Amino acid sequence: MLSLLPENVAFSLANPASPKMFSLRPQIAALSLAIPGHRRRLLARRRPQRPSSVVSMLTSESPNESPAFAPPNLSFPVLVNGCTGKMGRAVAEAAISSGLQLVPVSFSSLEKPGRTLKVGNTEIQIHGPSERESVLSSVFHEFPDVIVVDYTVPDAVNVNADLYCKLGIPFLMGTTGGDRQMLYKTVQDANVYAVISPQMGKQVVAFLAAMDIMADQFPGAFSGYTLEVMESHQASKLDTSGTAKAVISCFQKLGVTFDMKQIKQIRDPKKQLEMVGVPEEHLSGHAFHMYHLTSPDETVSFEFQHNVCGRSIYAEGTIDAAIFLFKKVQSKSGQRIYDMIDVLREGNMR
């Protein structure tokens, strides 16, 4: 099971009476969080590499360099809805550097006629809500093989999904929040191809899968243990981490009693610097999670931790998911709704 954990995930077992810890990677800092009585440990962090800025317009020839991570000779149009946000832009850059065709169109929740955004050499036209359906319909007519990637805001999840399904456009929903049950029902009723996942980081998804396997095979293993959860994200993230909720649901299957309202959310940059240990350059884009379990008599504790700096892990996973979905559409697969576990099981990833 440990081999499934990402490089920035700590899996440690500690006796509180002993300072000795066992971890998958060297520790570089110990910090005391607001959760009393426990020492928190951070892992050595490798600076994430930003996606290459090799770019090409839809009408131009492919760059001389080999695509960064797309399979040879595979190229299809991708429309990134949410390019005005940092995550959407990161995905747009990753799409270009992978050799995919970035459709020069995106949408905004605000009506600002004539607004443009440049990603590499591609000038993207930003359209307001009143133009969404007509513009997207035109895009689908011009690029019938297009895959839409959604990184917008929680309030737009269901509205956007309704539109994609109405037009019959395959899409990836990377945006968290919204009414998830309604989202799945909408896609199922429309019989549209979609990858729906609040977490696109492949290694984090592998960790979640390992947690789910443990929960299924050893239900009640942590009965009586208390759980404390801290998750730190950039201040612009409005909702509670979907990843944290998924991990907590596994602990609940393992016998832990925990209310989601007990999650300690940290969005204050000062606390993130001083208390959590987030590097200053990544305050605007990070995901630090800590799950701490304590036995009833407080003689045993477990810590599960994963720290992500930057957005490259999500952008790369999103491109893998887009390639996966494109292949499913082209092969006319009988299954229509997928998640990142399905992408991981396919195995054809960078």
Residue 299 to residue 295: CA distance in whole angstroms = 6
The catalytic position among 127, 202, 237, 289 is 237
The catalytic position among 127, 202, 233, 282 is 233
Is the distance from CB of 213 to CB of 201 less than 8 angstroms? no
Give the number of other CB atoms < 10 A from CB of residue 280: 9
Would residue 289 show up in a list of annotated catalytic residues for this protein? no
- Which of 79, 84, 95, 244 lies closest to 152 in space, CA to CA? 84
Is the distance from CB of 187 to CB of 178 less than 8 angstroms? no
How are the residues of the chain apportioned to helix, strand and coil, as percentages rounded to the nearest 5?
35, 20, 45
The bridge status of strand 194-196 relative to strand 286-294 is: unpaired
Residue 284 carries which side chain, given as an amino acid letter? S
Alpha-helical runs (H) found in the chain: 86-97, 132-142, 157-167, 180-190, 202-217, 242-253, 269-271, 312-330, 340-346
Would residue 185 show up in a list of annotated catalytic residues for this protein? no
Catalytic residues: 233, 237
